[in-house]
């Protein structure tokens, strides 16, 4: 029996993360199988453990670890990893690289909720049909897992302000100063791991120092 599909969504905008999660859940995928991160460093640390089958990531062209490099690193633990890309800049060179990597889509920012919804729907249909090693009965189960009546998704603007706290920011927690190491959006909330600390702290319990 094959494992359930796992999705990793990586984007600095919380609105993109939330909307992508809601879209995936509307297709019948469990919340525990959807991980959202705000940056590639966090995504790599979490992704090597999570081992997603599908990566949806911003290009992150100026980050030390770009979205493309993140995809290549995660393929070490999931060689059949599927890829979709988001980017503010889409040139013929970007399109060629995305195509050479077999990306399902390269969507230019800013985009509308409907544009992301349409691209995701096509990608999910392709994945459920063509996932390597996924038995036909498993693909059928994925199709039937979609609710007969899809929930109405909220339609806030996709492009919303960046998270208040980013990796490397100095923060105050329980009266002491710390440095944020990882910022993760998962299961409807944003949590932060502090340098030298184990576990995650809800974003609401931190203050910018």
Q: How many helices (H) and strands (E) does the chain have?
A: 6, 10
Answering whether pTM is above 0.85, one says no
Reply yes or no on whether the pLDDT at 152 is more than 70: no
Residue-range domains of the chain with CATH:
7-144 (3.40.50.2300), 170-208 (no CATH)
Question: Which DSSP letter does residue 133 get?
Answer: T
pLDDT mean over 64-93: 94
Q: Which of 63, 37, 42, 23 is nearest to 146 (CA)?
A: 23
Reply yes or no on whether the pLDDT at 92 is more than 50: yes
More confidently predicted of 15 and 187: 15
More confidently predicted of 43 and 204: 43
Confidence of residue 186 (pLDDT cuts 50, 70, 90): low
């Amino acid at each position: 029996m094959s494992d359930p599909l796992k999705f990793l969504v990586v984007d600095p905008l919380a609105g993109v993360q939330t909307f992508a999660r809601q879209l995936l859940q509307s297709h019948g995928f469990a919340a525990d199988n959807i991980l959202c991160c705000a940056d590639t460093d966090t995504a790599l640390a979490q992704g090597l453990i999570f081992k997603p089958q599908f990566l949806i990531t911003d290009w992150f062209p100026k980050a030390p670890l770009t979205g493309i490099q993140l995809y290549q690193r995660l393929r070490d633990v999931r060689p059949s990893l599927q890829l979709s890309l988001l980017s503010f800049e889409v040139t013929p060179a970007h399109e060629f690289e995305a195509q050479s990597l077999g990306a399902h889509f390269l969507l230019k920012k800013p985009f509308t909720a409907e544009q992301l919804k349409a691209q995701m729907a096509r990608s999910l249909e392709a994945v459920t049909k063509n996932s390597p090693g996924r038995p036909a009965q498993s693909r059928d189960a994925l199709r039937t897992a979609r609710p007969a009546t899809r929930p109405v998704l909220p339609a806030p603007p996709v492009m919303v302000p960046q998270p208040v706290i980013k990796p490397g920011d100095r923060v105050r927690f329980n009266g002491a100063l710390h440095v944020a190491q990882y910022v993760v959006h998962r299961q409807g909330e944003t949590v932060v791991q502090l340098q030298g600390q184990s576990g995650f702290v809800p974003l609401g319990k931190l203050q910018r120092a």
